[in-house]
Structure 1
């Protein structure tokens, strides 16, 4: 699950103001500050950005869980600059000083947060990771996030189906060696390699930069004019691929499947510009994060790894109400 880079949905949203709330009671309200409820436990939710289409649903899920559990106090914090790892470490240290019962955090770097979170555990604070994980298993109690390899397999299986089992395909990825992205790449490779008619051309790297992804795609089209499919492991890879395909007048000839479910990506599926998306549920991550913290409070055994299902989203299910929980948004359900 872990990745050293902030997901693209974070980088496309500007940070807004001072982004640390004091502890507030939560009873399922989706408004900032929530309303009164039991304050038995205090939970610090630390994300990489606020007012963001990935992390806002995570916050809503956490509040929803608190409401169902009878209420509690939640402090939501994020760095003023999205994805600021040192800033997030400072937030962890500040949170510890307030003596929360649990820290629920998306550790966007695989190693940088471990010392601070180990210190939190030493103080008796429960540590729940959401979305990403850490290489140091002793620095947290449980980690909840999408099964990235399975999501990649879903994308590969759909690619084979969409192409009728024939054609040349490649992966656009951000960086080599990153656990999250590599798992998505490997899952896809596993699925397409099982089809003898699919010629898998391997992976090209973009540094998760849309302009670079467009250049890489253009070069791939020049080298392989009969390219039939692209698996984009993140938002910026997809944007770059789509832009390059449009410029080459080949968008209708190349099947694009991508990870992430931003509003514009979902619209592209509805409009038929891209074939499919692999969705994960940040709302469920926040919800299960708080639920797991309460189980830990009660002494219940919680698995250290809690993989969540991903959903393949196509035109056939994009408007299904059950699919909406996988969309990134800045608003919670009322």
Structure 2
């Protein structure tokens, strides 16, 4: 457990919850995997937008998480602390789904628990009331469809994933493999429909942009004939300068489509990378919508209202033939 990230999160928690208590507002907490990830900042902006539109509400939206996305234990501790201190409801994006579910089962909170962005494993979904976010399996399907359109005969491929135990990322990888192979439950592509995962892949970034870019550079160097690199999440593109340097090494291949890059998410630096020809397709989530809708869903749960499960927020697909969302964002 990283002491620095716990201290940072604890400080944020103390300030925000204390302010809420001073105003006699009940707290609707959103806990993300890490405050260092710009994807989650969009969830925060949605939370803040809800706050600005609901100033007279008896509730406040609290956005928090460990300082680092690699601090799985820190996220569990923050959730533990929030539930101990007292919140009206909580929405969690679990970095380590089994570990987070195990702690929730131990605590057995009486307040509503939901997941956002990332879900618990199927066997633990009785612990939460609903999931709000992306249909992650479908996101993987869409990424595979883009790859197959660009490489109809398949090819060698490397998948870049996040944390080993992140349910949302693993669901995307499964959707990609199932669609590319034409079979269900494929653990690894070994030639189905022409697609083969290379040795050394998948690689796991632990949600770190610097590591993601280093992995890309190393993969390109070690595999000069690689046909496709799939960023199941957008980590490398979250550091645009480093990503530009990595893709500069293979720009000729990207332009000729000898090498294709498909990436998850459509944050501004990513759509710029797409427009610059540093990826061939982006499949984007809607994190702002997640953060904006989460407080209302939690209030519904508090009030005992029926809430659908899951609550999907949709996807935006950009490619060279139809830039769509990526053209102007």
Q: Same fold (TM over 0.5)?
A: yes
- Identify if the C-alpha distance between structure 1 residues 125 and 83 changes in structure 2 by more than 3 Å, giving closer, same or farther: farther
* Partners of 1:206 and 1:216 within 8 A in 2: no
- Identify if the C-alpha distance between structure 1 residues 300 and 104 changes in structure 2 by more than 3 Å, giving closer, same or farther: same
For 1:19, the equivalent position in structure 2 comes to 12
- Identify if the C-alpha distance between structure 1 residues 248 and 308 changes in structure 2 by more than 3 Å, giving closer, same or farther: closer
Paired residue secondary structure (1:111): helix
Alignment partner of 2:203 out of 201, 206, 230:
206
* Partners of 1:127 and 1:141 within 8 A in 2: yes
* Partners of 1:149 and 1:187 within 8 A in 2: yes
TM-score where L is the length of structure 1: 0.73
Tell me if 1:278 matches 2:280.
Answer: no
Alignment partner of 2:115 out of 109, 124, 129:
129
TM-score where L is the length of structure 2: 0.73
For 2:104, the equivalent position in structure 1 comes to 117
1:225-267: CA deviation from partner (whole Å, max 9, x where unpaired):
3x44332213356778982772585232312111133443221
Q: How far did 1:279 drift?
A: 0.9
Q: How far did 1:115 drift?
A: 4.5
48-57 or 103-112: bigger deviation = 48-57
Higher helix proportion (structure 1 or 2): 2
Alignment partner of 1:58 out of 43, 52, 63:
43
* Partners of 1:156 and 1:192 within 8 A in 2: yes
Structure 2 residue ranges without an equivalent (≥5): 1-7, 183-190, 206-210
RMSD: 3.6
Tell me if 1:317 matches 2:324.
Answer: yes
Distance 1:133 1:271 in 2: 33
Distance 1:18 1:182 in 2: 32
Alignment partner of 1:243 out of 223, 242, 246:
246
- Identify if the C-alpha distance between structure 1 residues 261 and 206 changes in structure 2 by more than 3 Å, giving closer, same or farther: same
- Identify if the C-alpha distance between structure 1 residues 65 and 305 changes in structure 2 by more than 3 Å, giving closer, same or farther: same
Tell me if 1:229 matches 2:222.
Answer: no
Distance 1:162 1:169 in 2: 13
Paired residue secondary structure (1:286): helix
For 2:32, the equivalent position in structure 1 comes to 47
Distance 2:156 2:231 in 1: 11
Q: How far did 1:40 drift?
A: 5.7
Distance 2:216 2:149 in 1: 25
* Partners of 1:101 and 1:126 within 8 A in 2: yes
- Identify if the C-alpha distance between structure 1 residues 202 and 242 changes in structure 2 by more than 3 Å, giving closer, same or farther: farther
